[in-house]
Chain A
Amino acid sequence: MEIKFENVGYIYNEKTPLAKEVLKDLNIEIKPNQINAIIGKSGSGKTTIIEMINALIIPTTGRIKVDNFLIEPEKRIVNIELLRFQVGLIFEFPEEQFFNSTVEKEISFGLKTFKYKTDEINKRVKNALQMVGLDESYLSRNPHTLSSGEKRKVAITSILVFNPKVIIFDEPTVGLDSNSKNNLIRLIKMLKNKYHKTIVIVSQDVDFLHKLVDYIFVLSDKKIILEGNKYEVFSQVEKLKEHGIGVPKIIEFTHKILVNKGVKMGYRDEIKDLIKDIYRHVT
């Protein structure tokens, strides 16, 4: 599914004394069926971008193409619900929005609102649960009593029931321990590989992103300052630091070796591969 930003700008509180421009002449093409990431300091406009993809925010200039939909200033979007079914957005701390007494009610709430038939709802809930790896015993449980990792899965399930083509995650790892993070990595990879979803993740957790992303956009000063696959982006250590963005620990370390000793190491994903390189160099 095509997602393309063309010269998009956004000004909060436009035409008021509080007007603040957060994005200017932004051009982005999200890679379909891949795991895309948008990184940048807080306040750089990352969340504004993702909220534009399902038209929660309409750009003040330029336009966004999402499949057959056009999102542009002062134009009504026909069938906006259809757009929002196709683009699922999972907010930061999604569990804070739980308001039902059982997981089943929580997950099926959206479908009921749109008057889906009971059989269809049951089928979709069952499928979505299976996708995230929760068994049906969870359906009768109170969502507020689940662990943080399980709560995130329930929140993701309540989006998956709409069978979206695109799934957007806003800071998905905040508050999660490393066990839950690793589960989330497996889940997101499966959504891409097995179910062919397009994934967009906004996150400051570069060590998490390093383990799963295919393509990265770096946002700073209202525009994209760098984009490419993770190797192309994270190898720009100095440039990222200048813009207040960290790099994965393994890259930071190999960069230290280069700066302090003039030794260039390869780009490695795993410590065990890095160790082999170090062994070759120092013995």
Chain B
Amino acid sequence: MADTFDAVQLAHGSGGSLMRALIEEVIAAEFSDVQLEDAATLSFPEATGAASDVRLSFSTDTFVVHPLFFPGGDIGHLAVCGTVNDVATAGAIPRYLSVGFVLEEGLPIEDLKRILRSMCEVAREANVALVTGDTKVVGRGQGDGIFINTSGIGVIRPGLELSASNVQVGDKILLSGSLGDHGICIVSVREGLEFGTNITTDAAPLSGLIAGVLDAAPHTRCFRDPTRGGLASTLNEIADSSGVAMAVEEDAVPVHDQVRGACEMLGYDVFQVANEGKMVAFVPADEAEAALAAMRADRYGAEAAIIGEVVEGTAGRVALRNTFGATRIMDTLVGEQLPRIC
């Protein structure tokens, strides 16, 4: 699939099936050790004593968002939250982050300082230390102002085996809050599509929320944050990994009015819009209520809801039941969503 193109396209970066194809067929085909979850689980059998049982969660993410500053956040804030969340999805408390900057010639130092302060603020909130990094500069026109890579590491709770392959029939699907806020926020400030809105990015560090859920529901199967590609891509990936089918109740999914309005105006599917401060959790049915309560107790989970469950059926199929009782398949984003007239 990815090899029908001879050049990388923008759509390859949008988090949908094209991106997945690029990763699986081109990149992972060469890197045989890579673990395809959001974070890699590392162990060190060569360590001695108690350390030989320690497992680390290790993740990296690169941020290329444009514009650099948007309502409620900026690329720095995103860069810290994104990796904190990826490390946390493995059931680890993130402790240390590295930061790599690629700065474009001409980037105002004031902008850089704003971004750095923003990173410090959210790192403080998430209780992570930015301990090492690297800086490079490229010529004018060769970078979008700034690209940021962060890598993060944390210790996984002993005995925890979270994995996207662990999901079972009967598990409930929980979503920590409203969909689409980040993606629509970005679109609202993008050239040509500007519209006035109160929507701010939802980017947030969720390690606390995840820890709370694990305390209340220790048999949680896995977590995943629905970033690029939206909820649809996330659910489809997990359905494929675990070989299960899923059923989602459309009415149970929280969506703010303005996000809905923007999706209608542009012709976007809200299930495919990016989120940066939301978490999906798969929890055994008998622990679902407790998990939900734990999410709602967290400052970033006030609108959490149980949106569906894992069911018998064709592996990899995610079905969406709408208000009328009709069902359709919730499909993975293919390329990127673009404003349309049809």
Q: Do A and B bind each other?
A: no
Interface residues of A (CB under 8 A from B): none
Interface residues of B (CB under 8 A from A): none
